[in-house]
Structure 1
């Protein structure tokens, strides 16, 4: 099940943070740190934070922000992560679809930065196009 998070309870996300760090990813810890500091709370217009959960366990997360490197018509996919035990079940796809649906209400284009070939292939399969013209993004999707 996927839910909008209006107020993140950081302790509930900690198992996902630890798992992501075991895989060498830092972006979920950064999500928590930026949320706690107020730097990014996903609370602006056109911004949202979603979690995927199975029973009481958070198994995935994704955010949407206005892209800080572009104009107001561009949204940015942020901090997608799915726990490895729950991958290949469509959860990542559902999270991206939720963000894309929300982005359609506010933005003309959706961008992101994928840090691996596996992530790149995932986004290409979801209709994103490669973008090598901007150092702040690797993929985009016209909405």
Structure 2
């Protein structure tokens, strides 16, 4: 499995992963597609990227990096992390976050994210993110 940067998202290739995420009650991948198609967030600004992981031809994981719209220009934001349930607990999510973190270090001083999932919160804490309370725009941060 190789993590690759997306130059031009082929929405139809992501559709099976979107459907699977919705079966789990997640809506963030459909938002990723909607925002990408509308041109609202194409992960194409300086310091931004969209990464995917494939197993053969199937996309099994995705994560994005944006400049944080709620902070100054020195803050990056992890967006839309999702790994297909059949491929969880294999280190793929960790590799995706490490890839984003490595890229973020080139452009940002702080990396933030928002999750309301306790399971995701624990995942990020294990990756040395600190939990932040009282901020409606971010739940975790990491000084780079």
TM bucket by the smaller chain? Answer: over 0.9
Q: TM-score, normalised by structure 2?
A: 0.98
Q: CA deviation digits over 1:27-67, x for unaligned, max 9?
A: 00000000000000000000000001111110000000000
Aligned pairs, how many?
Answer: 143
Match of 2:36 in 1: 35
Give the Å deviation of 1:134. Answer: 1.6
Match of 2:123 in 1: 122
CA distance in 1, matches of 2:57, 2:78: 25
Q: CA deviation digits over 1:46-89, x for unaligned, max 9?
A: 00000011111100000000000000000000000000000000
Give the Å deviation of 1:114. Answer: 1.3
**Helix, strand or coil for the counterpart of 1:141?**
strand
CA distance in 1, matches of 2:135, 2:22: 28
Match of 2:139 in 1: 138
Q: TM-score, normalised by structure 1?
A: 0.99
Give the Å deviation of 1:133. Answer: 3.6
CA distance in 2, matches of 1:115, 1:132: 11
Q: Which runs of 5+ in 2 are unaligned?
A: none
Match of 1:15 in 2: 16
Match of 1:71 in 2: 72
CA distance in 2, matches of 1:115, 1:31: 17
CA distance in 2, matches of 1:108, 1:133: 21
CA distance in 2, matches of 1:54, 1:105: 28
Answer yes or no: is 1:83 the counterpart of 2:84: yes
CA distance in 2, matches of 1:60, 1:111: 20
Cα RMSD over matched residues?
0.5
Decide which moves more: 133-142 or 120-129: 133-142
